[in-house]
Amino acid sequence: MPSYKVKVKWGKEKFEDVECNMDEPPVLFKAQMFALSGVEPDRQKVMLKGAVLKDDDWGNLKIKDGTLFLMMGSAGELPTEPREKPKFVEDMSETQLASALSLPAGLNNLGNTCYMNATVQCLHSVPELRDALKRYQGRPADASNPAASITASLKDLFDTLEKTSQDLPPIVLLHFMHLAFPRFAEKSEHGGFQQQDANECWTEMVRVLQQQVPLTAAADGTLVAAASPPAFMDHYFGGKLESVLKCVECDEEQPTTSNEDFFQLSCFISQDVKYLHTGLKSRMEENITKMSSVLGRDAEYHKTSQICRLPGYLTIQFVRFFYKEKGAINAKILKDVKFTMMLDVFDLCTPELQQKLIPLRTRFKEQEDKQLELTAIKKDKSEVKEETMEVDKVEKKTRSEPYSFEDDVGSNNSGYYELRAVLTHKGRSSSSGHYVAWVRKSKSEWTMFDDDNVSAVSEEDILKLSGGGDWHTAYVLLYGPRILEVEEE
């Protein structure tokens, strides 16, 4: 079915050139009206010549360019009947009570949209991104600028996630994702949306945010002085690689050095790769074939890469899918590849960057040595003095040291990272199966976001996501900066 530009009359207001794509369910048309009017889809009554528009079927409505719809409904919150029978506080155990009071909101699956829901929940775990989006001024009402509308929709969704524990339908965000990236709106032979690759969604969402969200404030809250502020994502999510290319067939040809920006590091999975760090390191050296200007023909080159700029938030993708001609699908590599809660990438960095990382790494080491010494003293009760025990009981105030270099907002100044979120896939191909987000809540507590099914999980549950079978398997890892906490004097 075609797409039309229609008009919608709502009270005294009239909206022109509203896109009406009849290849999509009417609920997405209502999502546009929600963005324009503030009237939630559940409160909208959209009519055409007396016929009421349904959520899932256009019926026999005859639509063309300029068709005038009438919409009724008022903006505001609409209470909804709970899908599950309420469980009263007095009937809950202590564990259930703590869990019920602290679990965040989930996102409704709108038909094979778990790939987008998981991506959103992982990105929502970054506090600096949440703060940057709060300052974003755009509104999700311009179909001619989907990138701006996606960013504004994500901002609104993040804001609502922080204000409610009720599950949310990300209708507006999905609508503008479909406008910007039509492949995400592809339908299956049964009429519903096809499953999509979560890492493709992650990549596109990061690119959109890179275009739209400026770096308006530094880590300490001071404004960045620039006529055209740099991109937030470039600073907090973007790193740089320095690569040296040497021809192995011609000693006379001088090596060439180049720099390359990245938003993700890739962990390629081969027979020898059993650990994440091994997969990352093996990718830093590779042989390629290219034209040699000295030899005048294709020759073999050895490429060595090192990181010369570390972002505060490091994204790593396990390259688990490969195209399989038989069946024409992106088949999945199920191999078990271990990852850690703490990641150290010091040995992947250039010597120049390593020198810059050493000062804070030394402070981390001193703090760890001091903690080990105190632990040893406590274990040896015969040497514990009464006054030492009293000091231990006093709660000491601490402060967080900056994790970025002073002259590089959003960078990582130690090379140490802590796992913040995991996006997993369960299934045998990227175009099928199911995606789930696992987000760190505290030092040892995690939350699983299986669309609108949200539950508390442990650190041990996260480490079981390394693969090796048909269970949820880590596909994208998001590491955040490890923070040095020091005692205030």
Could you give the residue numbers annotated as active site?
114, 434
Q: Check if the beta carbon of residue 126 is closer than 8 Å to that of residue 480.
A: yes
**Cβ pair 423, 123 in contact under 8 A:** no
How far is Cα 70 from Cα 76, in angstroms, rounded to an integer? 19
The structure tokens listed for 373 are 């010494």
| Residue of 39, 42, 6, 38 lying closest to 27 (CA atoms) | 42
User: In angstroms, how far is CA 24 from the centroid of its own chain?
Assistant: 26
Angle between helices 114-124 and 146-161 in degrees, nearest 10: 70
Compute the distance between CA of residue 283 and CA of residue 279 in angstroms, rounded to an integer.
6
Spatial contact of 328 and 261, defined as CB atoms under 8 Å apart: no
Q: Rounded CA gap, 421 and 471, in Å? A: 17
DSSP labels, 214-236: B--B-TTSPBP--SSPPBHHHHH
SS3 128: helix
